[in-house]
């Protein structure tokens, strides 16, 4: 009697998988806790990898400029230190951008929220004092507006504290605060060191992973996986660099236009629109609504002109600037962009809105390539079948 070891191994695998699945379903809290601990341990390395991924494009351009300068007579020594000098300049640029965000964007964003709270207070008090003149409001709405009792000072302080404390993250106790700060400094340092290592050894690491994939997988699957990773990296890089560049251009256009036409809160609204423009589709319109509300408290007519100016700039940005800055790098039709933003927002909030567009783009391109290959195979099979039928008919005719 011959023993079918292949079937025995399959059954053993199925039984072991069933036992592990049963144990896992009965110890979900333990598994979730273990995953949380594992994520906590690798968080600095994930953050470092994210920083290296963001900075790889600027590093490539800066290093290219250094190598071009090294070709000039008298600057040949730069070729030997091009990678070191490129990483140094890239991180100096990265730190300068962080400082700019900390000392310009964040204070202006906090100021915008503070002004919004103050303007809302003035608007509601105006409604309460002149509610009888608002004919379109029902009596129930007027009674509700007059009954509003809001501690605006407390509300403003709560909003400011929420923003300053990092979206409501509260450190408990002095010991816990010191521990959290120390842990944050250590993790940040480890992440930066890891990102520097990745950037300095990126070609070597690329070759090592390529050899590993070819060693583990068949050649065809390994090549397909490497092509997919390359496409995903290019898609994410092009999307994020394009979105940031487009947000800076849009904010600059608003600041120049609002300064020329003497709109109030020009810097605050421009910074707010630039930051919110990082959120695809909805971000700029949220900034427009917020800016219009701030201006309407000062001059309602200027608020109307601001909305008109927003629509004009949005058309210029959407038809001229965005296609040139971002272009077709994402390669995702508009309908799927809307789906990606909606699904990403439901799953992960604002971060999901940003991440799901390039993620959907990768899946969309993979599906398009797979569909094209399948159709090509079907077409080849159909033609082969037609040629076989034709050969059979020729053979039959010759016999006759």
pLDDT per residue as tens, the chain (400 positions): 566 677 777 888 888 888 888 887 887 788 777 777 777 777 888 888 888 888 888 888 888 888 888 888 777 888 888 888 888 998 898 888 778 777 776 776 677 667 767 766 666 666 656 555 555 454 555 555 555 555 555 555 565 555 555 444 444 444 444 555 566 677 788 888 888 888 888 888 888 989 998 998 888 888 888 888 888 888 887 777 777 888 888 888 888 998 998 888 888 888 888 888 877 777 778 888 888 887 877 777 888 899 999 989 888 877 777 666 665 556 667 677 778 778 887 877 777 777 888 888 888 888 888 888 888 888 888 888 878 777 666 666 555 5
Model pTM score: 0.64
**SS3 state at 73:** coil
Question: d(Cα 295, Cα 310) in Å, to the nearest integer?
Answer: 13
Total count of residues recorded for the chain: 400
Token couple for 177: 């605060």
Phi, psi of 280 (to 5 degrees): -60, 145
**Closest listed residue to residue 354, CA positions, set 250, 248, 281, 274:** 281
For the chain, the structural domain boundaries read 332-390
């Amino acid at each position: 009697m011959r023993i079918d070891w292949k079937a025995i191994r399959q059954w053993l695998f199925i039984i072991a998988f069933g036992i592990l699945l049963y144990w896992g379903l009965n110890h979900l809290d333990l598994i979730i806790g273990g995953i949380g601990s594992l994520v906590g341990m690798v968080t600095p390395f994930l953050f470092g990898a994210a920083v290296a991924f963001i900075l790889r494009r600027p590093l490539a351009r800066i290093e290219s400029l250094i190598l071009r300068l090294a070709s000039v007579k008298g600057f040949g020594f730069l070729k030997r230190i091009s990678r070191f000098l490129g990483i140094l300049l890239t991180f100096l640029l990265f730190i300068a951008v962080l400082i700019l965000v900390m000392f310009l964007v964040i204070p202006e964003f906090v100021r915008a929220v503070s002004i919004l709270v103050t303007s809302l207070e003035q608007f509601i008090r105006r409604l309460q004092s002149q509610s009888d003149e608002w004919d379109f409001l029902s009596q129930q709405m007027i009674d509700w507006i007059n009954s509003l009792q809001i501690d605006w000072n407390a509300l403003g302080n709560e909003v400011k504290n929420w923003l300053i404390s990092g979206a409501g993250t509260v450190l408990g106790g002095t010991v816990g605060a010191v521990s959290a700060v120390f842990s944050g400094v250590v993790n940040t340092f480890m992440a930066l060191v890891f990102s520097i290592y990745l950037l300095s050894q990126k070609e070597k690491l690329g070759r090592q992973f390529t050899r590993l994939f070819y060693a583990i997988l068949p050649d065809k699957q390994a090549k397909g996986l490497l092509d997919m990773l390359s496409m995903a990296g290019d898609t994410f890089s092009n999307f994020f660099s394009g979105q940031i560049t487009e947000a800076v251009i849009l904010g600059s256009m608003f600041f120049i236009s609002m300064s020329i036409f003497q709109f109030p809160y020009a810097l605050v609204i421009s910074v707010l629109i630039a930051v919110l423009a990082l959120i695809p589709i909805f971000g700029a319109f949220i900034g427009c609504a917020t800016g219009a509300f701030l201006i309407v408290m000062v001059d309602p007519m200027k608020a109307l002109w601001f909305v008109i100016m927003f629509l004009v700039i949005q058309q210029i940005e959407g038809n001229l600037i965005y296609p040139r800055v971002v272009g077709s790098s994402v390669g995702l039709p508009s309908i799927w962009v809307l789906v990606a933003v909606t699904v990403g927002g439901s799953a992960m909030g604002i971060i999901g809105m940003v991440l799901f567009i390039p993620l959907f783009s990768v899946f969309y391109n993979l599906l398009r390539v797979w569909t094209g290959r399948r159709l090509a195979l079907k077409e080849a099979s159909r033609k082969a079948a037609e040629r076989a039928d034709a050969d059979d008919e020729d053979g039959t005719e010759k016999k006759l």
